[in-house]
Amino acid sequence: MDKKKLTILLAYAIVMTGLLLLTFGAEWNPSNYSYSLNNGMMVIEKGLSQELEEVSVGDRMDDVLRYTLAVSAEQQQWRIDVTVIGILLPFLLLLFIPNLRPLKKHLSTRWYVTIVLAILVVYAAYSIPNHISNINEVHEQVSRLLE
């Protein structure tokens, strides 16, 4: 295996390992909020390990469910994004090695770059507004729970 292939493979492995460990190992999502349930109490956490507040589940079940739903929606969107990144990252990395580029016999380099970047832009245009909406909902529910 030559250095270019090894570099691409190593870059992919580093990026995806970091994303997967952060997402699934640390259960992080872009809202930066998570929760855990302990003996009828819900602990709302901000960041990877910083405790924010404890809320009694029994008193405010409807608010707790809205909060958990909002966090779950953001986690789901983030997991979809990690999957899409895993699929599209090799195509993006192969922009730097034209002789390894897929479909090089059928597409010129300009068309390949255009198609890959167009897919990235279209997906970002779909994903970013969803994240903004989900994050705003999470923050709204946190504020409601902590009133």
- SS3 for 120? helix
For 47-106, what is each residue's pLDDT tens digit? 876 777 888 888 788 999 999 999 999 999 999 999 999 999 999 998 888 788 888 888
Whether 82 contacts 26, CB under 8 Å: no
pLDDT of residue 96: 84
Q: Could you read off the pLDDT of 30-54 as tens digits, one per residue? A: 999 988 888 888 888 888 767 778 8
Helix (H, G, I), strand (E, B) or coil at 146: coil
Please give the average per-residue pLDDT across 8-30, as a whole number: 93
User: Quick one: which of 77, 112, 91, 83 has its CA closest to 11?
Assistant: 91
pLDDT in tens, 121-145: 999 999 999 999 999 999 999 999 8
CA atoms of 102 and 84, how far apart (whole Å): 18
What crossing angle do the helices spanning 109-145 and 61-93 adopt, rounded to 10°? 160
Tokens of 12: 């992919």
